[in-house]
Structure formats: C-alpha cells, structure tokens
Amino acid sequence: MCGITGWVSFHQDLRPGAPVIEAMTSTLALRGPDAGGVWLGAHAALGHRRLSVLDLAGGAQPMTDRPDRPDRAQVVLTYSGEVYNHHQLRARLSQRGHHFATRSDTEVVLRAYQEWGDALVDHLEGMYAFAIWDERAERLLLVRDRLGVKPLFWAEVDGGLVFGSEPKALFAHPEVTPTVDADGLREAYSLLFSTGPTVWSGVRELHPGGLLVLDRGGRHERDYWALAAHPHTDDLDTTTERIRALVDRAARSQLESDVPLCSLLSGGLDSTVVTALVADELRLTEGAGARLRSYAVDYSDQAERFTGDVLRTGHDTPFATEAGAFIGSDHSTVVLDPLALLDIEHRRAVVASRDSPIGVGDMDTSLYLLFGEIREHSTVALSGEAADEVFGGYPWFHSPKALAARTFPWLLVTGDEAAMPLHPELARTLRIGEYREDTYRAALGAVPHLDDETPEEHRQREMQHLSLTRWLRQLLHRKDRLSMAQGLEVRVPYCDHRLVEYAFNTPWAMKSHDGREKSLLRAVGRGIAPDSVLWRPKNHYPATHHPAYNSGLQALARDALDAPHVRDIADETVIGTALDTPADQLQWGHRLRLERVVDLALWLDHHRPALNL
C-alpha cells in the first residue's frame, strides 16, 4: 500500500516544479515509509510514497515504460493498492507479447494499460487507486477501485488539476488552500457520507468504481462499475454454496505478501470466518505447522466495567480468544490503558490522518494505537469489514421502525444526541434536516430495482444499497487512514466485487433464512468457527467504560470550547449539558458529542482552514 499524488497543467512547463511535487509527496510519507520518488514531464508531475509489500527489490515508483530512460517515458504510473489477480493478468499479457522486469502488480497495471487502455479497469480485481500519465496523448487517467477501499481526491488548478491519496497532499500545492464553507460543513455534519463533495471547498473525491480523464479537450468523469439489479435464479442450497465459494476465494486470494501478514480477529462472525479461511490457506501453502498471527483489542478495565449500550451487547475478548484457539492462530490481545486514549498527541495524529473533523473519538484513537502495536510485527492485516453491509448484519435491516422510516437508517441508531450540536445561527444556515431529506430522495432514486420485487424485497434492496454506497464508505475511510498512518496495509475480502454483486441480488428471505442476521455468512462459518461465535449477536467496535476516561474527556472538551472558532460552529449550551453530567453517568450519545467537539478543535488547529461561513 502506498500514497500517490500528482499535478497536471497544460498552461505551464512543470519540469522546474520539483519542489512542489516533492512537497506534495512528502505529506504522504506515513502511507509509504519505505521509499519515495517523483517523475516530472513538460505538463505532468507524479509523486509516490511506497509501503513495500510485494517484490521488495522491484516495483519502485513512479513506474515508467522506459526504466532505462525515464526522461523519454511514454507512459508513467503512480499506483496504490493491490491487484489480487495480477498473476493471471501477467500470464495473459505475456502471451500477448509483453515483457516484465519485476514481480510487482504495479508493472502488471502498467502493461495492462498499454494493452487495453482505459478498459484495463474491467480486468482488475482488488483495491487500488492510481494515476497514469500518457505522454503521447498528453492525457491523465485517474482510477479508483469498485468499492472505494482506496481513497483518491482531486482539485482544479490553473490549466489542469492536482490529485492525491489524501487532501493534505493537495494542500501542499500553492494553488490549493484549505478552505471550508457552509456546503462543506453541511456535508460533514449531516453524516450522510456522500462521495464527490468533501468538507473542503474545491476538493472532490473520485467515486468508487469511477475514472477521470483529463486532456487538452477537458475533464471527463464516468463510473465503470456500479451495483446493478439482476434476477436471482439459484435455490437456497446453491446460493449458500456460491456464497461459500466467493468468500473462500476472496479471503484466500488476499494472502499473498512478501512481508509479515496477520488477521484482525474481534471474536465476531465476520473476522472469524476470514481468519479461519486465511489460516487454512497458510497451512496449505507453507505447511501444517504454519500459524497465522491474529490480533484483538481490549481495554484494561473492560472485563470489570463493561456496560452494554445501543451498539454493544458483550465483551469481545473471551470470544476472540476462543475463536483463535479453535482456528489455531497465534492470537494476541492488545490491551490498552483507557487513559492513553486521552493523550492529546495520539488524538492529534488521528485527526491529522483523517483530514476531517468527523470521527468517533476514543474508538478512532484506540484503532490507531492497535494498528501501531500490530505494525511492530506485521505489515499487512486482513479485516472483516463490510460483511454487515453485504449480508445484512446491522439492526436497521431487521427493525420494523428503521424499515418504515424515510431517512438514512444509521441516523436512527446514532440519533441526534450523537450529532455535533451546531451553533443556532450556523444551524439555520446549514439547514441539515432539509439537506438530509433531499439527499435521501436522491439516494433512493439511484437504487436499481427489478420490476417484480415484493415491497419487502424493494425496501431491503434500498437498505443494502444505502449501506454499501454510503455507510460502508466512511468505515473504509476510517480503516484506510488510521492503518496507513501507522504504515499498515489492511485488506478487506468482503469488498470483493463479485461477492458484493452476488449478495446484493440474493433475496432477503435467503439472507435471513435462519431467522437471524447474516444467515448466509453463518452457513459459511459452520465447521470453521466455534458455535459461540456463530450465534453471537452483532457487536460493534469496543469502547472504554472507565469513568476516568469520561472525566478526562470532559476536561478536553472544556479546553476545546475555548479554542479559536469552535464556539462559531458548536453550540456551547448543549455541550455544557454533557460537561455538567457526572462522569459515571455520561451516556454514549452525549459522550460522542464531546468527542466531536475535541476533534473539531484539533482539526481547526492542525489545518487552520479559511472559514467562509
């Protein structure tokens, strides 16, 4: 995994622009701690930071079609991610006369472009974001993977555009200033997780499954992939076997690595299935004695103080330990001190990695610290992210209230008490309620349907589409930013697009055939996961329940309210209620409000954006 950036302008010669592209590239050093490089041409400059995972000796970037004479290159690539079918593509391209100098999947992408042009996107399987500059046509191609696992942002500049894995790379360009207006804050605090506009004025995110072309004729964007509705003709037994094969293939195909690899094992169904399949593949390829490392996270007070809430029904660690023993993984639990989550430098690092004021406070900080501990031993980790969206695991798929509500379902779970309380004057300007209603109608209009769907099937298709195209995207952003800030690559097998396509078109009656959530994934897990995990209710990422954390958070929030511009955005009266609540009585929603105020202050301090409200 890596960080990419670049600059194209048809109004000036960029060859003297080395200081600019080097500055842009250096902002991504945490994403690629192993190496960096830049390439400059008359109208394009590309940068790359590398986290070495495959072909450690080869695969340096930006990669050109003329490694012997990069100054005469016709095609230049800067690439982030993993193409899991690169061996198959290499064989096909070799048969077509292409020669390879490295073992890297990067070179496969380069040669695939030479063979198929923009149509290379139809051949790739994996998670990726990349840019190709075609010197012959003076043409830039930007591409992002189908589910949006890897991020890619861009902004207009004189005569062209700049792009990068993170907005911070764009801000290193002299023409791009971090600016926030009402539209950006509306987008951020509505919690609708749209793709395209961002919190930053003028900065856009390339759509998942999208590509952008820039040449002298202008800029053109299109989606090369999107969820589509198709009739499902398989019976339940055939469907179960097909799901099992797709999950199995996705997990096993993502094991390749030239550096240490592990699995994130929370003790839930999703991560246990992935860990079991990958552990089995490791034994098949490396011998019966091979053991996969697996990791869980816990807090030093959790066993004593765990308290259930709207998102959590039980303590993870006993289930994760049992699952690790059942699978035979080399399992470890990273135990965090709850008070370490209050460390202001940790929180600054988290906010800086996100480039956004929107996060989940202690859960982001603990994930960041977990990834830091894992990085001491592994460079690649596999995750169970996306299984709830693919198989219908969230409460809103099963709640009559959520199914009947005409709004985004996660807003019913988090509720307004967990939203940022906005200054009354700003709230009147943003009109978030109206924005949510308008966006919801537009989002439903984008859902593909079949003509003969029952009302139940129609609604469940809407819920799954909203979950896959909005809710999942913020989870993938969170995992990408916090893992890459620690130089850790996280792979997500449940985002395999063939699995997603098939499951999206599987009838709801099959997805819930045993009367529970994720029925099809549970069927996959039989025999490879312990029964206690198979039938365990959905549990979200753990949070600390220590009263000393709550009181420390209140202190941070009091300081945050005094930071510049915070009172212009946040409603100090509403925040004051949470500040005055006894620490041992602070409820989850009110605590999240305090987390958001602290994050807002740190974000404003780090980026110092121009505010045009």
Q: Which of the residues are catalytic?
A: 2
Q: Is 156 exposed, middle or buried (0-12, 13-18, 19+ CB in 10 A)?
A: middle
For 491, list phi and psi in degrees, rounded to 5.
Answer: -105, 150
Rounded-to-integer distance, Cα 23 and Cα 47, Å: 9
Selection from 252, 241, 240 nearest residue 283 by Cα: 252
Token pair in block for residue 123: 């051949």
Query: CA–CA separation, 577 vs 590, rounded Å?
Result: 9
d(CA 556, CA 448): 46
3-state secondary structure of 404: helix
CA distances, 14 to each of 8, 46, 139, 401, 585 (Å): 8, 10, 15, 57, 59
Inter-CA distances, 424 with 106, 428, 569, Å: 51, 6, 9
Single out the residue of 298, 281, 320 nearest to residue 530, CA to CA. Answer: 320
Which residues have CB under 8 Å from 597's CB, separation 6+?
A: 420, 557, 560, 561, 566, 570, 575
- 379 in Cβ contact with 489 (< 8 Å): yes
Q: Which 3 state secondary structure label does DSSP give 301?
A: coil
The secondary structure of 13-24 as a DSSP string is --TT-HHHHHHH
Dihedral pair phi/psi, residue 312, rounded to 5°: -135, 130
C-alpha 571, offset from chain centre: 30
DSSP assigned state of 470: I
- Rounded to whole angstroms, how far apart are CA atoms 557 and 610? 23
